[in-house]
Chains A and B, each alone.
Chain A
Amino acid sequence: MSIEPDRLSPVQDEFYQALMAAHAGLDETESHALNARLVLMLANRIGDVNVLTQLLQSARSYSND
């Protein structure tokens, strides 16, 4: 699988906190839905189908771990 370079630091902790805050107070179904919306929005932000396909494959490759 392709290794993604780190583009998130030094704001990683801030992001993670904001992500958890976005989920605060939602039940599991609602959280699931939020994640789905977020994936679609991030895909739109990336906007490059090659990159997106690679990311999908990479994310999928961990499913058998």
Chain B
Amino acid sequence: MAYEYKPFSYVPPAGLTQAEPRHAVAIVGAGPIGLALAVDLAQRGIRSVVLDDNNVVSVGSRAICWSKRTLEIFDRLGIGPRMLEKGVTWKIGRNFHGDKEVYSFDLLPEEGHKYPAFINLQQYYVEQYLVERAQEFPDLIDLRFKNKVVGHQDLGDAVKLDIQTPDGLYRLEADWMIACDGAGSPTRARMGLDFSGQTFEEQFLIADIEMEQSPFGDADVPERWFWFDPPFHSGKSALLHMQPDNIYRIDLQLDAGADHKAEAAEDKVIPRIKAIVGDKPFKLDWVSVYRFRCIKLDQFVHNRVIFAGDSAHVVSPFGARGGNGGIQDVDNLGWKLAAVLKGEAKAALLNTYHEERSFGSAENILNSARATNFMTPKTPIEELFRSETLRLAQDQPFARKLLNSGRLSLPCSLEGMALQTPAAAQVAPGRALLDAPLISETGNSWLLNEVQGDFTLVGFGDVTLPDLSGIRRIGINQRADHPCFTAAGNHAIRRYGSGKAYLFRPDGHVCAVFDTPTEQAVLTAKARALGAELENAA
């Protein structure tokens, strides 16, 4: 069944008739990033107004592949379980060269994690779930559809926004403006910020089709098929992926010079798809032709205007790092912005959002650019190396590892950056939490549910946690006067070691590790994670 788009209602905003009281946060754009940020802030008690020029979820599925780390973040935001239930957990990946299968892999889930490595779920579902989640905070999230931001002015300690609605123009002021207005960000353009980088010449046809019969044979196992130089599309690459509701995603590389209008026309698209799926009946759900770019802003934080998601960085989709990267922006920014607004941290803390996420997006750009380059050899010699790699990949393990149709997004490590207190540990300060199943007298849980959201000190095995106010404490495989759990299957102890205390940031990244966690040491590490050692920016 194809998705049914239901428009969200437009309500004339108060600002049309009277001046609105100053808002804490104005979020421009209700894509996955803007919506997720509003929910994150609301969960911390911070109000926001979300302005979107449109009134429907993403048309066409765009992002389909959501990584484990993203699902863990969405778990904290309240929609993870719903995504997992609806999504397709894909298992088998197959790489073909011509009509020969060169290499396949089974994404066997590693035991002891709440979420699998990846699921496929259409972006419109994710946005719908986020809107519904946001609506659970009517006092904290003011969601305004058909509110187009057409101008803004940084007043130094606030931002003034000009907003166009069907009923005319109005203004509002906010302490912070977060630009989540997508790859074509009008905010970025208005500020004249340079956004140049690698643009790939090749174009890609992206189509979603609805088809009852599985193209993956009888087994009915969700697979991902990737072809280098397929027999049905000579010299190019092709990808076939499964989504819920019997929807399949097809990516086809086109010539650099292809006419994108003609290529997106049904009479051109249908024969191309028939060549892949044969004579199984199908319906076209969405077709688009893209030319991909890999670009980021030099600076994500501009005084009171902060960029997150595609407005700050875009990547080619091979490796699924666009939306997944943006969700990590939200995870990183939400608690910092809340801490600044609550007076728990100086504004300089927000500069570490730039430090940490600019690094993360550079990593995403590097990986997706490498994949795109591998998929689209540009010279005869690149072509030669690629085809010999494919030849060797049939039986040489090292060559299989060289095949690159996208390195799937892994959580970014923030090791060595300003907020972390260095230490040697199995999970070094800076890394994102490794999930593990926990058992307690009151029921089963997951480490991610116990540590995400707030600073949390976790004692693993034989280590005594100090009595601290303002820091949540839990123990694993220990008895104490704070909540304690048993490490199911011993996964938690195996992953973190025994006799160690880990301090997690609210976004689930480790920021310090102790053998002897004294009160003083833990409080110093927490203060550092809140930016105590940073120079305050003017």
| Contact pick for B398, options A9, A17, A26, CB 8 Å | A9
In the complex with contacts A19-B385, A20-B382, A31-B381, A12-B398 CB distance below 8 A? yes
Assess A9 versus B392: contact at CB under 8 Å? Given A16-B370, A23-B381, A28-B380: no
CB proximity of A36 to chain B, nearest CB, Å? 13
Residue of B nearest to A22 (CB): B381
In the complex, the answer to whether B396 meets A4 with C-beta atoms within 8 Å is: yes
Q: Contact at B380–A6, with CB atoms within 8 Å?
A: no
Evaluate whether A3 and B370 lie within 8 angstroms (CB atoms) in the complex, with A16-B402, A19-B385, A26-B381 already known.
no
Q: Does A8 contact B (CB under 8 A)?
A: yes
A47 lies within 8 A of chain B by Cβ: no
Interface membership of B332, Cβ < 8 A: no
Inter-chain CA distance A51–B447, complex, in Å, is 49
Complex alpha-carbon distance, A39 and B330, angstroms: 48
CB-based contact B367/A13 at 8 Å: yes
Distance to closest chain A CB from B508 (angstroms): 24
**Are A62 and B392 in touch, CB under 8 angstroms?**
yes
Closest to B373 in A: A20
CB < 8 Å neighbour of A20 from B385, B392, B395, B400: B385
Q: Is B138 located at the chain interface by the 8 A CB criterion?
A: no
In contact, B398 and A16 (Cβ under 8 angstroms):
no
- Which residues on the B side are within 8 Å of A19 (C-beta)? 385
Bound-complex Cα distance A14 to B367 (A): 9
Docked pose: A44 CA to B517 CA in angstroms = 53
Shortest Cβ distance from residue B516 to the other chain A in the assembled complex, whole angstroms: 34
Known: A7-B398, A8-B398. 19 other contacts (CB 8 A): A1-B395, A3-B395, A5-B397, A8-B402, A9-B398, A9-B401, A12-B398, A16-B385, A19-B385, A20-B373, A20-B382, A20-B385, A23-B382, A26-B381, A28-B381, A31-B380, A62-B388, A62-B392, A65-B391
The distance from the CB of A43 to the nearest CB of chain B, in whole angstroms, is 18
**4 closest Cβ contacts across the A-B interface?**
A6-B398, A31-B381, A6-B397, A9-B401
The number of chain A residues with a CB under 8 A from chain B is 20
Question: Which B residues are CB-close (under 8 A) to A28?
Answer: 380-381
Asked if B374 lies at the interface with its beta carbon under 8 angstroms from chain A, I say yes
CA distance A12 to B398 in the complex (A): 8
- Bound Cα distance A28, B381 (Å): 7
**Chain B nearest CB: distance from A6 CB in Å?**
4
By a CB distance below 8 angstroms, the chain A residues around B382 are 20, 23
Instruction: Report the Cα distance A16→B367, complex, angstroms.
Output: 12
B370 near A17 (CB under 8 angstroms)? yes
Nearest chain-B residue to A28 (Cβ)?
B380
Are B404 and A13 in contact (CB-based, < 8 A)?
yes
Q: Are B381 and A3 in contact (CB under 8 A)?
A: no
Nearest opposing residue in chain B for A9, CB measure: B401
Taking CB atoms, residues of chain A closer than 8 Å to B379 are: 23, 31
Residues of B within 8 A of A7 (CB): 398
B interface bracket (residues with beta carbon within 8 Å of A): 20 to 34
**CA A12 to CA B364, docked complex, whole Å:** 16
The chain A residue sitting closest to B371, CB to CB, is A13
Mask of B356-381 contacts with A, CB within 8 angstroms, 1/0? 00000000000100100110000111
Can you identify 5 A-B contacts, CB atoms within 8 angstroms? A6-B398, A13-B407, A17-B370, A20-B385, A28-B381
Q: B-side binding surface: helix, strand, loop or mixed? A: helix
CB distance from A9 to the nearest CB of B (A): 4
Interchain nearest-CB distance for B368 vs A (Å) = 11
By beta carbon, the residue of chain B nearest A20 is B382
Chain A residues with CB under 8 A of B381 = 23, 26, 28, 31
In the complex, the chain A residue whose C-beta lies closest to that of B402 is A12
Say yes or no: B401 contacts A6, CB within 8 Å: yes
Name the CB-closest residue of B to A63.
Answer: B391
A16, A31, A65: the one contacting B374 at CB < 8 Å is A16
- What is the CA–CA distance of A9 and B407 in the complex, to the nearest angstrom? 13
Q: How far is the CB of A46 from chain B (nearest CB, A)?
A: 15
* Residues A13 and B397 in contact, CB atoms below 8 Å apart: no
Pair B398/A5 contact, Cβ less than 8 Å: yes
- Using CB atoms, name the residue of chain B closest to A62: B391
Please name all residues of chain B whose beta carbon is closer than 8 Å to the beta carbon of A13 when the two chains form the complex.
Answer: 367, 370, 402, 404, 407
Q: Which residues of B contact A1 (CB under 8 A)?
A: 395
CA distance A19 to B382 in the complex (A): 9
A5 to B397, CA, bound (A): 6
Q: Measured between C-beta atoms, what is the minimum distance from B19 to chain A in Å?
A: 54
Chain A residues with Cβ under 8 A from B385's Cβ?
Answer: 16, 19-20
Q: How far apart are A3's CB and chain B's nearest CB, in angstroms?
A: 6
Contacts of A4 in B (CB 8 A): 396-398
The interface residues of chain A lying within 8 Å CB-to-CB of B398 are: 4-9, 12
User: Do A16 and B404 form a contact, CB below 8 Å, given A5-B397, A5-B398, A26-B381?
Assistant: yes
Q: Which residue of B lies closest to A58 (CB)?
A: B396
Contacts of B382-421 to chain A: CB distance below 8 A? 382, 385, 388, 391-392, 395-398, 400-402, 404, 407
In the complex, the answer to whether A3 meets B402 with C-beta atoms within 8 Å is no
B396 A3 Cβ-Cβ under 8 A: yes
Contacts of A20 in B (CB 8 A): 373, 382, 385
- Chain A residues near B370: list those with CB within 8 A: 13, 16-17
* Assembled-state Cα–Cα distance A19/B404 (Å): 15
> Would you give the shortest CB distance from B223 to chain A, in whole angstroms?
23
A31 to B398, CA, bound (A): 23
Docked CA distance A49–B404 (Å): 32
Chain B residues whose CB sits within 8 angstroms of the CB of A6 once the complex forms = 397-398, 400-401
Q: How far is the CA of A28 from the CA of B383 in the complex (A)?
A: 11
Min Cβ gap B408→A in Å is 13
